[in-house]
Every structure is written in structure tokens, then in C-alpha cells.
């Protein structure tokens, strides 16, 4: 396949459009983020309405950045799941309209796999992905024809845990970056550390941290303890996945992977095992259209045939559902 691919991301709060060339050059990376009102979470319908307004302009801007006419594209890719139904449908409608209007093929990709495959653009070949975002906390890797989830959270996502604590502490949304800025060691306050087999749980940690906050523990000390404990849990599971699979590359993804301390802990663990750690630029860790475009390109050029499923969103599109024919 020759020609650039345009990717549309709209699984949750971020509407984004990215364009990549076949050799992996990032030609455009546009995004608009829905911000819920202070104190409230994301309402799927409101986020979708935001995306309805934002996407046409983002597509135009991305094409202008790439200096391309729509008809010069080789493919339109979009994230068909997992995510919030109304948000997914909005992105799918935009992708469908663009593809059909210009006679382009349409390909629906898995959002979580896109977070992994963007690591290949960074130079990885067969990595374990430590995917830490608001809604998702998973350790993913390719094995025997599918992307497998080796471990995941049993309750809330790690980013949601940080955001919930931040909200209770009056820090506003999102809490993750605010806690990072506040965190101050080296004294490590003990908090529940919950790794069960290859899975993790964060709600016990959240409850305990909130109790200590109510008891008057200084915020910087608590922020430090939350980061150290939660990130150690995630790194432990990632390390075990590397050990079990024998893979020698680790890719970080998801919004929480923007955190400098997480990056430091992951690369320390990787160094100790002779594993190469890929920490993509922050713009590629958070939800973005580039990773959707890139996965679309990888699948399409790898012989994946687009079919009826590519025209349908799937809120529960699990990482291991798709048979991987393009690797």
C-alpha cells in the first residue's frame, strides 16, 4: 500500500485526528479534549456532543498540516472500541463519511492494540505493553496469533484512582499530573499493595489514602506514597509478563505513562533485565489519532482485509478478540 493513512480517535474524552505516511512519518496530530465540569465525571453523551462539534475541524486541520487532499489518502482508520458507545459512534460516523465521500477503504481498529503498536513506530518489534490510562490498566503482548492481556486491574483503572483521589483532595481534574507535581519523598507511608497473580486492584489503596488524607496527613507525602505503591504494582506485573514471555522490549502507553516517576521505575526494572524500555512522547502516550492511523496502516499493509465488522463499533472490543493476521 502506498499513501498516507488518516486515523480518528474518539473512544472517551479525546477527539483526535492523526495522519501518518507509510514509512511512519507523523504528518498531523490534532486533538481536542472534552473537559467535564468541575467535580463531575465524563458523561458519554456530553463527550460525544463535544466530538460531533470538534471532529470536522480536526479533520480539516490535520489534512492541512499534512498538505493532503482527502482523495490522496490510502485509508481511513478509526477506533471501533473499546470505549463509550456514543463517543465511538461519533468517531465511526466521521470516519465513514470521510471514507465514503472519497471512495477510501474504512478500517476499524482496537484502541488498546493501537497503544501497543505505536511502540513499533518507536523501534520496538515485539514488546510487552504496560498500558496505564484513566479507564484501562493492562499488560498486553502478542502470543500465538492474538494480542493477549497478561494482567489487568480487577477494579478501577490506575488513572481513575489518581483522579478520584485528586478530586477528593480538591485538586481538580485530572488528578494524575497534579499529584505528580506535589509528590515528595523519601518517607514512604505504607498503603495497600494489591497484586493477585497477574492482576492488580487499586480501590483498597484509594480508600486507605483517602482515610489518611481525612486524618490530616500532608498531601505531598500521600501523593508520593500513592505513586510509589501503584506504580510498583504495575511494574511488578509487567516484569512478570516479560519473564514469562521472554520478550525483551517494554512499551509504555496511556496517559499515566506521561508520569516521570513511572517512566523512571519502568526503565530501572527494564535495565535490570536487559530489556529495552520505549517511552513514547507524551503526545503519543495519551489518546491520539496517530496511533489509530499507524495501526490502520500496519494492518492494511500487512494484508488485513477490511470487512463488515470494520463498519461497526464495539464498546467491549477486547484486546484478544481479533485474530491477528497482519503480523
> Contact residues for Fe ion (CB under 5 A)?
133, 287
- Segment holding 101, helix H or strand E: helix 85-101
If you write DSSP's letter for every residue of 219-257 in order, what string do you get?
A: HHHHHHHHHHHHHHHHHHHHHHHHHHH---EEEEESGGG
Cell numbers representing residue 84 in the block:
463509550
User: Where on the chain is the footprint of ligand ATP (CB under 6 A)?
Assistant: 11-13, 133-136, 159, 162-163, 174-177, 180, 254-256, 258-259, 286-287
Of 4 and 222, the one with the shorter C-beta distance to ligand ATP is 222
* 152: β partners: 138
CA distance 278 to 42: 30
Q: How far is the CB of 13 from Fe ion (least distance, A)?
A: 10
Closest CA to 222 of 282, 265, 157, 168: 168
Of 34 and 63, the one with the shorter C-beta distance to ligand ATP is 34
Q: How far is the CB of 312 from ligand ATP (least distance, A)?
A: 19
Looking at the Cβ atoms of 225 and 313, the one nearer to Fe ion is 313
- Give which of ligand ATP, Fe ion, none residue 289 binds (C-beta under 5 to 8 Å, depending on kind): none
When CB distances are held under 5 to 8 angstroms depending on the partner's kind, the choice from Fe ion, ligand ATP, none that residue 162 binds is ligand ATP
Minimum Å gap between C-beta 56 and Fe ion is 22
Q: Give CA–CA dist 229/274, Å, rounded.
A: 24
Q: Which is nearer to ligand ATP, 41 or 302 (CB)?
A: 41
Residue 167 near residue 173 (C-beta atoms within 8 A): yes
Q: How far is the CB of 13 from ligand ATP (least distance, A)?
A: 5
Amino acid at each position: 500500500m502506498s499513501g498516507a493513512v488518516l486515523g480518528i480517535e474518539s473512544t472517551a474524552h479525546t477527539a483526535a485526528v492523526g495522519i501518518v505516511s507509510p514509512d511512519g512519518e507523523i504528518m498531523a496530530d490534532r486533538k481536542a479534549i472534552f473537559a467535564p465540569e468541575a467535580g463531575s465525571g465524563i458523561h458519554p453523551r456530553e463527550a460525544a456532543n463535544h466530538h460531533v462539534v470538534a471532529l470536522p475541524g480536526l479533520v480539516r486541520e490535520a489534512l492541512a498540516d499534512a498538505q493532503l487532499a482527502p482523495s490522496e489518502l490510502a485509508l481511513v482508520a478509526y477506533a471501533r472500541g473499546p470505549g463509550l458507545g456514543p463517543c465511538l459512534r461519533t468517531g465511526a460516523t466521521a470516519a465513514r463519511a470521510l471514507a465514503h465521500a472519497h471512495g477510501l477503504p474504512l478500517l476499524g481498529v482496537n484502541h488498546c492494540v493501537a497503544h501497543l503498536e505505536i511502540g513499533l513506530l518507536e523501534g520496538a518489534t515485539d514488546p510487552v505493553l504496560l498500558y496505564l490510562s484513566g479507564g484501562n490498566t493492562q499488560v498486553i503482548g502478542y502470543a500465538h496469533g492474538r494480542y493477549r492481556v497478561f494482567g489487568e486491574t480487577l477494579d478501577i483503572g490506575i488513572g481513575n484512582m489518581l483522579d478520584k483521589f485528586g478530586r477528593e483532595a480538591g485538586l481538580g481534574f485530572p488528578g494524575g499530573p497534579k499529584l505528580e507535581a506535589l509528590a515528595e519523598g523519601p518517607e514512604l507511608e505504607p498503603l495497600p499493595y494489591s497484586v493477585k497473580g497477574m492482576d492488580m486492584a487499586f480501590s483498597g489503596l484509594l480508600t486507605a489514602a483517602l482515610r489518611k488524607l481525612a486524618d490530616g496527613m500532608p498531601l505531598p507525602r500521600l501523593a508520593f506514597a500513592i505513586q510509589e505503591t501503584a506504580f510498583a504494582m504495575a511494574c511488578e506485573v509487567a516484569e512478570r509478563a516479560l519473564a514469562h514471555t521472554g520478550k525483551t522490549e517494554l512499551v509504555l502507553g496511556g496517559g499515566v505513562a506521561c508520569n516521570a516517576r513511572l517512566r523512571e521505575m519502568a526503565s530501572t526494572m527494564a535495565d535490570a533485565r536487559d530489556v529495552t524500555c520505549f517511552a513514547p512522547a507524551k503526545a503519543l502516550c495519551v489518546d491520539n489519532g496517530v496511533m489509530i492511523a499507524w495501526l490502520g496502516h500496519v494492518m492494511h499493509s500487512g494484508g488485513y482485509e477490511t470487512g463488515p465488522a470494520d463498519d461497526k463499533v464495539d464498546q467491549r472490543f477486547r484486546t484478544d478478540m481479533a485474530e491477528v493476521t497482519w503480523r
